[in-house]
Chains A and B, each alone.
Chain A
Amino acid sequence: MSRRTPAFVPRALVAPAALGLAFLVVPLVALVARVQWSTLWQDVTSPAALSALGLSLGTGLVATVLCLLVGVPLALLIARSGARAAAILRAAVTVPLVLPPMVGGIALLFLFGRNGWLGGALDLVGVRLPFTTAAVVLAQAFVALPFLVLALEGALRATGTGYEQAAAALGAGRWTVLRRVTLPLAAPGLVTGTVLCFARAIGEFGATALFAGNAPGVTQTMPLAIYTAFNGAGVSQGTAVALALLLLVTAVLVLVLVRAWRPEAVR
């Protein structure tokens, strides 16, 4: 909308640019337009919606905690490795990010499933993961972990090791350096990564559908409830639209949070 179009952008590109923007924004406006505001509260608080919402938030939080427990050390490792090792590690972390989540779901099933590599051993000790709430958490963590690792790794690499070396030279131990220097410096990246990780976790559909299934109250998270509602089984369509709106609002909030934490966003 600003009229200060940079001179190096040809005028002719404004039309396709506007088309592209409209293509991204108008469908979401159409979604909001379909919301039944009069029954929104009822739809969001219907038992099916509340169970999906509670399950999504709970599993999303646990998945995010799991991602932090293993993702922060992994990001540190990558950021402080040599160039070649870091490139290999980064590629390994990025694969699940560009992989269709459905494929991730199948992979998880073939690892933890009844006939999977680990599934048989787990079965012996009486642990069955697929089609349980734990499977939802694993599916979410699998797709969300790369977001956290890459965001944090980028921040760690950007801050460099100068301050860490100074702290170490002054006698600080490794843990002290990590706690007092490294992580505070990378805090914006850590927060951004955590928020993105959580958002990706609660939006997860494909891997969950294949690895955890679609059992109401056990594995039916919000995206699955929305999908099921549009298949006309179980949840009502009004509920589906309400849940979709909820996810949209969540996404917008995530964006706002991430922006607020960007150092360059400080006004």
Chain B
Amino acid sequence: MRRRAALAALLATTAFLAAGCAGSTAPAASTAASDELTGSLTISAAASLGTAFDEIAAAFEAQHPGVDVRPISYDGSSTLANQIIEGAPVDVFASADEKNMAKVVDAGLAADPTLFASNTLVIVVPAGNPAGISSLADLAAPGATVVLCAPEVPCGAASQTLLANAGVTVTPASAEQNVTAVLTKVAEGEADAGLVYATDALGNADVESIVPDGAADVVNRYPIVALTDAPDADAAAAFVAFVAGDEGRAILARLGFGPA
């Protein structure tokens, strides 16, 4: 009796955990079934790719109805790279810089990443620019609350280079773990200014962006790779090809990303 109860609890536990690992929905029916790709894809992508990859994933699923793209994990590239190195079950990794991609490649988990897009930095200020920011030098002004990405994430590394090139020293009020966190703090009006990618500021009504001098000299390139032990290797490779191919590039260009 008691033993049976304990066994039932254990079984329930196991069943729940198994359910958590099971695949989800059937993909929408589509007529463009030109191939027999199947499986499900777990994708980790840099936070700045959020809008673009949601759109690309939907287009990819429409073209390959047998593939289910799971909700994509968006975060700072360094966070995602560390998770993958620690054993996170990921099929495709898209980083906002080559350095964090190199960490995953050097760990022997992937090979030959493909560069597929580029991005530059802008100064972003809340709508109306209450602090009257117009240049990188203004970010160093006493009394200006500035948020930047943490140095270990790609936008942070790029921000440091950009500021160093301009000879400006900024003490940020906060060093955020990913670029969307910086954008949110500025959009909320909690910070007077921040440095984000040009693509992040596009289409956000709560912020204005200023292209600083020297922005074109600090370019982030985005690599993408299918991980070596991705369970659905064919689907993973197809997704990488799709992102770097015509459809993916068209979506990225429309959202403001530069060519690789």
Which residues of A line the B interface, CB within 8 A?
A: 51, 55, 58-59, 61-62, 65-66, 68-69, 109, 113-115, 119, 123, 128, 130-134, 137, 175, 179, 213-218, 230-234, 237
Inter-chain contacts of A232 with B (CB < 8 A): 180-181, 183-184, 187
Given A58-B16, A66-B13, A137-B17, A231 and B86 contact (CB-CB distance below 8 Å): no
Q: Are A233 and B47 in contact (CB under 8 A)?
A: yes
Most chain B CB inside 10 Å of its own CB: which residue of A61, A114, A237: A114
Neighbour of B86 across the interface among A62, A131, A217, CB < 8 A: A131
What CA separation (Å) do A206 and B62 show in the bound complex? 37
- Interface check B9, CB cutoff 8 A: yes
What CA separation (Å) do A214 and B75 show in the bound complex? 9
Neighbour of A113 across the interface among B6, B13, B70, B86, CB < 8 A: B86
Q: Are A233 and B17 in contact (CB under 8 A)?
A: no
Inter-chain contacts of B180 with A (CB < 8 A): 231-233
Q: Are A131 and B83 in contact (CB under 8 A)?
A: yes
The 8 A CB mask of B153-188 against A (1 = contact, 0 = none) is 000000000000000000000001110110110010
Considering the complex, give the chain A residue whose CB is closest to the CB of B50: A233
What CA separation (Å) do A68 and B73 show in the bound complex? 33
What CA separation (Å) do A131 and B91 show in the bound complex? 13
- Interface check B71, CB cutoff 8 A: yes
Q: Are B24 and A131 in contact (CB under 8 A)?
A: no
User: Count of chain B residues with Cβ under 8 Å from any Cβ of A?
Assistant: 34
What CA separation (Å) do A114 and B87 show in the bound complex? 6
Interface residues of B in 1-27 (CB under 8 A from A): 2, 6, 9-10, 12-13, 16-17, 20-21, 24
Q: A58-B16, A128-B89 are in contact. List 20 more A-B contacts (CB 8 A).
A: A65-B9, A114-B86, A114-B87, A115-B86, A131-B87, A132-B21, A133-B20, A137-B17, A214-B73, A214-B75, A215-B71, A215-B73, A230-B181, A231-B176, A231-B178, A232-B183, A233-B47, A233-B50, A233-B74, A233-B75
Neighbour of A130 across the interface among B73, B88, B184, CB < 8 A: B88
Q: Are B83 and A213 in contact (CB under 8 A)?
A: yes
- Interface check B199, CB cutoff 8 A: no
Q: Are A231 and B20 in contact (CB under 8 A)?
A: no
- Interface check B42, CB cutoff 8 A: yes
Interface residues of B in 41-70 (CB under 8 A from A): 42, 47, 50, 70
Most chain A CB inside 10 Å of its own CB: which residue of B13, B16, B87: B87
Considering the complex, give the chain B residue whose CB is closest to the CB of A68: B9
Inter-chain contacts of A58 with B (CB < 8 A): 16, 20
Q: Is the interface of B mostly helix, strand, loop or mixed?
A: helix
Most chain B CB inside 10 Å of its own CB: which residue of A113, A114, A137, A234: A234
Give the 6 A-B CB pairs with smallest separation, nearest first: A133-B20, A216-B71, A114-B87, A131-B88, A232-B184, A232-B180
Q: Are A217 and B74 in contact (CB under 8 A)?
A: no
Q: Are B87 and A217 in contact (CB under 8 A)?
A: no
Q: Show 11 residue pairs from A and B whose CB-CB distance is below 8 angstroms, ordered by the A residue.
A: A62-B13, A109-B86, A128-B87, A130-B87, A213-B83, A215-B71, A216-B72, A217-B70, A231-B176, A233-B178, A233-B180
Q: Are B50 and A234 in contact (CB under 8 A)?
A: yes
A178 CB to closest chain B CB, in angstroms?
A: 10
Neighbour of A132 across the interface among B2, B85, B86, B89, CB < 8 A: B89
Inter-chain contacts of B24 with A (CB < 8 A): 217
Q: Are A119 and B70 in contact (CB under 8 A)?
A: no
Given A132-B21, A231-B180, A69 and B9 contact (CB-CB distance below 8 Å): yes
Considering the complex, give the chain B residue whose CB is closest to the CB of A175: B2
A129 CB to closest chain B CB, in angstroms?
A: 8
Neighbour of B42 across the interface among A61, A130, A214, A215, CB < 8 A: A215
What CA separation (Å) do A231 and B187 show in the bound complex? 11
Considering the complex, give the chain B residue whose CB is closest to the CB of A129: B87
What CA separation (Å) do A231 and B48 show in the bound complex? 11
Inter-chain contacts of B181 with A (CB < 8 A): 230-232
A141 CB to closest chain B CB, in angstroms?
A: 11
Inter-chain contacts of A69 with B (CB < 8 A): 6, 9-10
What CA separation (Å) do A215 and B86 show in the bound complex? 15
Q: Are B16 and A62 in contact (CB under 8 A)?
A: yes
What CA separation (Å) do A216 and B70 show in the bound complex? 8
What CA separation (Å) do A69 and B14 show in the bound complex? 14
Most chain A CB inside 10 Å of its own CB: which residue of B70, B88, B89: B88
Q: Are B70 and A218 in contact (CB under 8 A)?
A: yes
A179 CB to closest chain B CB, in angstroms?
A: 8
Considering the complex, give the chain B residue whose CB is closest to the CB of A136: B20
Most chain B CB inside 10 Å of its own CB: which residue of A128, A216, A231: A231
Inter-chain contacts of B177 with A (CB < 8 A): 231
B100 CB to closest chain A CB, in angstroms?
A: 16
What CA separation (Å) do A124 and B178 show in the bound complex? 34
